[in-house]
Amino acid sequence: MPPYSFFSGQPPPAPVANLVASLSRPVLSIDRQPKLFHSLQQEHNSVLSLAADDESIYTGSQDGQISIWDKTTFKLRAVLKGHNGSVLALEYAPDKHWLFSASGDSTIRVWNTRNHVPLYLVHPHLETDSGDLFSLVWCPQLQTIYFGCQNTSLQSFSFSAPTLEHASFGISLPSDGSIHSGTSTPTSISRKAHKFFDSYPQYTRRPADLNARNPTCASCLPTSASGALATSVSSSSPSSGPSTPPQDACVQDDSVKAPLATLHVLPENVVFSAHYGYVYCMALLPSNREGSDDAFYEDTHDGSLQLVTGSGDSTVKLWQLPHGRTQGAAPQLLHTFDCGAGAVLALAVRGDTVYAGCQDGLVKVWDLETRTLVRTLLVVENVDILSMSMLHSDLYVCSANGDIQRWSASFDLVGSWRAHDGIILSSIITRFPAEDKVVAQEQGKSERFALVTGGNDDMIKVSSGLPRVRRESGGCGVLTDDMQVWEVAPPRSDRHALSELSRFGNTTDISKSINDILVYALTKFVGIPSVSNSPVHKEDCRQAAIWLRKCFTQLGAEASLLPTGETTNPLVLATFHGTRTSAKRPRILFYGHYDVISARPTGWTSDPFTLTGRNGYLYGRGATDNKGPIMAVACAAADLLARRALGVDLVLLVEGEEEAGSGGFAEAVKRHKDAIGPIDSILVSNSTWIAEDTPCITYGLRGVVHCNVEIANDGPDLHSGVDGGSAREPMLDMVKLLGTLTDSSNRVAIPDFYDRVRSLTEDERQLYKVLSSVTQTPASLLAARWREPSLTIHNVEVSGPRNSTVIPSKVRAHISVRIVPDQALEAIAAAVQEHLRTEFGRMRSPNTLNVTIDQTADWWLGSLDDPWFLALESAVKDEWGVDPLRIREGGSIPSVPYLEKEFSCHALHLPLGQSSDQAHLPDERISLSNLRRGKRVVERFLANVASTPSPSPVPPSVDV
């Protein structure tokens, strides 16, 4: 038998020098190497499959036997005999105390784990024509076993008949032998003739029968009359018979017993050609494996149970399991994921994420909700991945070269070590009792996890002293039949991998402690470094979307993720449904963004991604832009919902690309407009007040045109001391060209640029006077910031080393133009390009000019007499006791004017933060008072619009 190894402490990451660079986190260091504590050896008996219950570990091998090992003593307790083919898969059903074993002899056997008695022999549909049975999954909710076959079929058998109940640790069969999803026949003979393994030489022209003797492999050894594998009487010589565990006084070696009944899968429980290759692996969703932190679903009527299968055709398929009245039906295909990386040999699942271990050393990571590939992990190039196991958010990947790698939830390689000298064929996570129960009770730990691995190197190792990862404490373990037992620790709750808000409770709890929930949730949200314009944080952005979707769900919304493209982050869509009445409920769309800009540590008083409270303010990247306002709005809806006072439908649409230009946003909204539904008004909270103490409402934003200008020649960079004065320099052309954009009064010199700019009205002039007195800022300066267009040159870049002696051959500049009502976005963009080309042509330069428009956003102006605006203004006044200031912003939010046009309704902009909130700067913050009172403003606003007749949507117009 192959080895078992037991290591106490942490799962062992490899030396730092051997670790692959992480995409989002630095690799952790290791203190020491593991030490071998004990070894066991059983020759010529590889471990192909593993399972475990509370007391034992079960190992299936190529000789058709199942060995049972005691978890406490590591002694061999018993051997289960019956298969005459390799035991390719084992599955433990804890609710039944059953062990399922699938074999190369085209049968599934069911064993009672309490007394090791064989219960059933299950024949697949078409029996031996189904070929090897590679994979098994037990679904306790449906009382059904699912298995994948060599003939590419997916089959199932249901044990849900009421008469199949335990009686004295046995089974009472119905008098007619019928079972829910197949047929059964009480029998004492369990095996039929195999048309290949029990065949005679072709020239004899005899049909296959059990009298044929073809001992060419372990799968076709002589059998007894009961169909059980013949065993050797003597274990002194390897040549005397097939290898079996050595005889021991403690090992039960009963004679082979026949199962109580033989069962047959019916055609209606078969998905023929489920794949175009062998079905090597499968997993249940949500996972019911030991070590999983997925929630367990007892309700089988909501369609939450799903199955994933992996195949030699390089695909993973997602199946809907039957529910409600359809129980007993075959699974229905939902989606096919093409891995494109060789056969899929192993699967692991956590939540909505599926990990597919492939033949060429890659792990493909799929998001089930958006149906997209989120990451490809390169484990060991061109080395098969034969097994994977999950311990909470940590993935353990076992390769054919004998190595184990541990990957974190953020796809960091945090551990790598050589576990076997041969191939690792199987692995599981299981619990072990604590070694020192007194110490364990004092520390509040009654058990440990273990990673059990099986291979073909004939060694069982029990070791202690695994390398410790400095960031963690605690531990678990691993065994092999070729088996090793490694003590491994569940990861600490990763701040960006949180799957739930553990302190939330039910809606009544939310109503009582909503302010605590608001700050708690914001703490977790800010802790996710969702920087959209950094490839290093790509996975953090996805985890932020997943966390936010789950947060909204726990607050009472129906939430989902909407894909925006292969390279862009998903949208989070959530709907808080109001109280059902006969009247039509208003539908309000809140727009926000969960992405943030980067935060360099310099200039910060505290960690930018750890929400820190000081002097009444909460500091952290995204606190005011835009994570704080998002949580305030969501908690406002949750509070109203808990008090049964939500009279509107509040739809939250939160994107993850706003700080990077909202790539894919418009296309995704159009594509999923039916899922979003009709909208009556749009609410935004993505700016700050103009002062510290007076609340504001924003009613206008400038638009923007971003333009790239490049001047270059066909030659190389030159030396100014050699070629200066003899060449037409691109830099000089660029300086002259940029100088034509403005005049001596600093006004934009593009022809007709100001023609459509609105004149300042008397009402606006009076408003600016009021704002000037509040902010101590000249009214003319406020008007220049908010309602007048502008042009800015942001940077100039050059080719070459940027040395003072180099004449660059290529020069690039980036400019932006801010536009206001009623300038036309497309017309201004075209005018900028035309002006630059015309002025460059006048220079008669031999260099070339290239002008491109990078990004654009239209201006936005709200309607001050709109009933929605008046309802929001009233809510602010009722909360703060003063009339809010009506202000505009000089910046741009591309999505606001787009959403107005797409849904034909007006937008409202409610800033929550103060002017000193430092958005986009070090020490970004939001006042705790503003956050909580902003939440109450939203509650008042939602109550206001629910209590008045819903105004008809007014299409936005440039004339408002």
Residues 727 and 848 in one domain: yes
Distances (CA, A) of 175 to 172, 185, 190, 328: 9, 11, 20, 21
Alpha-carbon distance of 414 to 394, in angstroms, equals: 9
CATH code, 579: 3.40.630.10
Residues 802 and 848 in one domain: yes
**Domain's final residue, options 804, 824, 857:** 857
Residues 681 and 645 in one domain: yes
**Domain's final residue, options 857, 880, 895:** 857
Give all strands (DSSP E) within 743-833, no chain letters. 790-798, 806-807, 810-819
Residues 587 and 662 in one domain: yes
Residues 834 and 864 in one domain: no
pLDDT in tens, 863-887: 888 999 999 999 999 999 999 999 9
Distances (CA, A) of 532 to 25, 220, 374, 569, 704: 16, 58, 15, 8, 20
Which two structure tokens, joined as six digits, stand for 537? Answer: 């944080």
Q: Is the pLDDT of residue 326 over 50?
A: yes
Q: Is residue 708 part of a domain?
A: yes
Q: Is residue 268 part of a domain?
A: no
Residues 698 and 833 in one domain: no
**Domain's final residue, options 819, 841, 857:** 857
pLDDT in tens, 487-496: 777 776 543 4
* Tally of residues, the chain: 960
Q: Is residue 611 part of a domain?
A: yes
Alpha-carbon distance of 890 to 788, in angstroms, equals: 9
Residues 678 and 720 in one domain: no
pLDDT in tens, 20-50: 323 333 444 343 444 444 455 656 678 899 9
Q: Is residue 869 part of a domain?
A: yes
Q: Is the pLDDT of residue 416 over 80?
A: yes
Residues 566 and 674 in one domain: yes
Q: Is residue 821 part of a domain?
A: yes
Whether pTM exceeds 0.75: no
Average pLDDT, the chain: 81
Q: Is the pLDDT of residue 469 over 70?
A: no
Q: Is residue 826 part of a domain?
A: yes
Q: Is the pLDDT of residue 529 over 70?
A: yes
Number of separate domains in the chain: 2
Q: Which of 208-217, 281-290, 719-728, 816-825 has the lowest mean pLDDT?
A: 208-217
Residues 731 and 810 in one domain: yes
CATH code, 708: 3.30.70.360
Residues 723 and 741 in one domain: yes
Distance of CA 671 to the CA centre of its chain: 22
Q: Is the pLDDT of residue 501 over 60?
A: no
Residues 746 and 844 in one domain: yes
Range of 668's domain? 511-702+860-947
| Band of pLDDT at residue 644, cut at 50, 70 and 90 | confident
pLDDT the model gives residue 956: 53
Q: How many Cα neighbours within 13 Å face the side chain of 468? A: 10
- DSSP secondary structure, 120-141, as one string: EEEEPTTGGGG--EEEEEEETT
pLDDT the model gives residue 25: 37
Alpha-carbon distance of 55 to 70, in angstroms, equals: 6
Alpha-carbon distance of 693 to 927, in angstroms, equals: 11
**What is the rounded average pLDDT of the residues 51-70?**
91
Alpha-carbon distance of 61 to 49, in angstroms, equals: 7
Residues 827 and 931 in one domain: no
Distances (CA, A) of 434 to 7, 40, 290, 440, 472: 13, 21, 16, 6, 18
- Number of helices followed by number of strands (H, E) in the chain: 15, 53
pLDDT the model gives residue 477: 45
Q: Is residue 717 part of a domain?
A: yes
Q: Is residue 73 part of a domain?
A: no
